Structure 1
């Protein structure tokens, strides 16, 4: 007896929906919305992700960390830049206990709280309900949000993960960027920040450990 292809694909599509859940309210928006549940939950492991997505879609390899460091990670969809996600483990030896998930540079998926790559400072302020603080640009941690100032985005997302956001600057803004550079914090509504026109360059999900 033959089985319809749609029935064979159904389990995989269900897993993908759990890991990259589409919010019906934003079905027309560019890209899916990441979820902190399903295969990408706090109790995940490399073995579980491998079982969920298959050997062709999951590899273990060294990836870039902070300050030029190389660190081991489970890479989901390594050959598809638009779906690539790097997973880091609290127990690296056992590759278990999800510590953080970092979408690839070309992955346009939004965080569970609605922050999406490409958003402006003003758009993120609107989601947060108030201004926030971010680090100056031009160094390893440049453009990272350092304090949501008690806004909506300070709260953990459904599933218990927290969302980290990092802003970047467009090329050709060197003169303006120099005014917001260095290891210091700025308010998001600072006129110098607004003049530099930062955009959300990357997001990451994290699962705090006791």
Structure 2
């Protein structure tokens, strides 16, 4: 009997470890199947995963590159499994069915299911609530992608890929698969917007001439550039100036480009799903934790000062916030002046704080 207890004591930790860690083979298999299905049109599973990765920030600046190479980005792979589990309503059997629908090898399915169910077993309520909120604004999968071309080819192919952009309207009579099933696509309108609203090619552009080639000379203009604090920083080029879709591009040589959004609503598919006009609560959610901001009506007022080690730390994201509801001086005075504030300060919610401008700098 003593030997039996010793044997159990030795085996149990090994069994537990097998349930809490993925082998390289299983991770590579899942990565390969995600990459394949991401090339398929209207793939509901990978479309859902990609959009959630993009909104959460786990997909990085280039969501396509992440989706095609999850095995080399283990935090993103873990997040992809989490969102597939969420897509499956946090139901293990439904999760297994979806893994099989992705044509995973048989010996990969159960390790993935066990690993994921164990890892997120305490997050079920939060994941289901997040899914409910997500589906309110989710417009369906944007898949049918090809593995990213070399950097030198990105700009040259940008204009030719406009017809497959997120702004394309489905033709009448076709169907689009969503996370909730298959539903008829909207009927084609007389005027179809075939412009590309993907921002990732803009991080690779290096000259104003390339912008003109991509968007047309009537849609690009030059202006003096200022950062979000109001400091002049040379010149910038604005795409679709004086419209809701205005986007400012500032070239910084080999240091990369800075893209700034200050208008809303906007059709651009911005990194991390963050846009001007988004509420403070969404920004806290994307960062994964509260952060610190400069108080309003002072030097650098409303700028995020420190991400406090959250998901946006070191990602080249600069954000300026503004308060919409400033009618109560007693409340507004609490958040003005030469001081810093925690983003979860209750009064900020009462003041209806939103993103005024957001800038993304390529690394």
Partner SS for 2:312:
helix
Alignment of 1:56-205 (within 5 A): 56-65=218-227, 66-67=229-230, 69=232, 71-79=234-242, 81-91=243-253, 98-106=256-264, 108=266, 109=268, 111-154=270-313, 156=315, 162-173=316-327, 175=329, 176-205=331-360
CA RMSD, 1 decimal? 3.4
**Aligned residues between the structures:** 179
> Which TM-score applies when normalising by structure 1?
0.69
Alignment of 1:24-35 (within 5 A): 35=198
Structure with higher RCO (Cα < 8 A, 6+ apart): 1
Q: Aligned in 2, Cα 1:70/1:113: closer, same or farther, shift over 3 Å?
A: closer
Alpha-carbon separation, structure 1, partners of 2:163 and 2:237: 16
Bigger Rg, which one:
2
Partner SS for 2:273:
coil
Q: Aligned in 2, Cα 1:54/1:98: closer, same or farther, shift over 3 Å?
A: farther
Structure 1: stretches of 5+ with no match in the other structure: 1-9, 27-32, 157-161
Q: Aligned in 2, Cα 1:124/1:70: closer, same or farther, shift over 3 Å?
A: closer
Structure 2: stretches of 5+ with no match in the other structure: 1-156, 168-176, 180-195
Which has more helix, going by share of residues? 2
Which has more strand, going by share of residues? 1
Alpha-carbon separation, structure 2, partners of 1:107 and 1:134: 24
